[in-house]
Structure 1
Amino acid sequence: MSDIVVTLGAPVPVYEQIRSQVAAAVAVGTLRPGARLPASRDLARDLGIAVGTVQRAYRELEASGVVISRRRTGTVVAPAGTGTTPAGGRTSVPPPAGVVAQARALVTDARAAGLTDDAVLDVVRGALATPRDRTAEVGREVS
């Protein structure tokens, strides 16, 4: 799990950078169920950040069902199907790699345009609020 990279001083808090990278790695299958995450102290030392920052990221990941933390055995990726969606529903299927790539492209484009993370989330929430039968129409060009 040495693939985690944080940018100190970025508008996104460091704990959220860690949380989102771990969640994305689980979602695309880079981290499989049962995979052990580095100990909080080790990851904090490697990244040059406070242990509490890593612990907060791990707590949030555990609260959303992405990982399971045990005192003696450490933090591991939860079994498939134990995570929750933002709406509170259960999910067992990771998003397709293309969807993850599009989400990353959206974030990159939005940040380049000067949008805040909250503004990007508002855009996504608005798209999710679109009725499913209209979602297919939104991407179509009208001739």
Structure 2
Amino acid sequence: MSLAIRIRDEDPTPPYEQLRAQIATAIATGELTDGTRLPSVRQLARDLGVAAGTVARAYKELEQAGLVVTGRGAGTRVTGSASAPMADALPALARDFVTRARALGLDDAAIRRAVDAHLA
């Protein structure tokens, strides 16, 4: 996987969510394509310096969202791709935005104003 993932200690967003968001965004933008094999849980945990449970949780949430599939002995592979309608990626992108905005201390009204300003 050629994706550069960073877990930022100063970010109040939990590490599993940082990881999930970065992988989901890479899938939505086509940086990770259908069939791409992700590193094993243990390998990615080692590479990022996080607990294996952190990576496992991120992978589980990605699987629940239909973005990856994990098969025994086959590893975890991307099932979503940029060829899928971008509208399918919208809920994950919105969730990521709201999560990060709230982590910065913004309330829902401020988040809505920011979105509305960009839609205008």
Q: TM-score, normalised by structure 2?
A: 0.72
Larger radius of gyration: 1
Query: Which structure shows the bigger proportion of residues in helix conformation?
Result: 2
Distance change >3 Å, CA 64–CA 121, structure 1 → 2: farther
Deviation at 1:80, TM superposition (A): 4.6
Instruction: Give the Cα separation in 2 of the matches to 1:120 and 1:64.
Output: 27
Root mean square deviation of aligned Cα: 3.3
| 1:83-131 deviations in Å (ceiling 9; x for gaps) | xxxxxxxx92136xxx9xxx8xx77xx58xx434x7489628x85xxxx
TM-score computed with the length of structure 1 as normaliser: 0.61
Taking only the aligned residue pairs, the percentage that are identical comes to 43
Q: 4+ runs of 1 displaced by more than 6 Å?
A: none
Q: d(CA) in 2 for partners of 1:26 and 1:123?
A: 26
Aligned amino acid, residue 60 of structure 1: E
Number of aligned pairs?
Answer: 106
RCO comparison, higher one (Cα < 8 Å, 6+): 2
User: Is the CA contact (8 Å cut-off) linking 1:37 and 1:76 kept in structure 2?
Assistant: yes
Contact 2:66 2:79 in 1 (8 A): yes
CA apart distance, 1:71: 1.5
Listed as ranges, the matches of 1:111-130 within 5 Å are: 114-116=104-106, 119=108, 123=112
SS at match of 1:68: strand
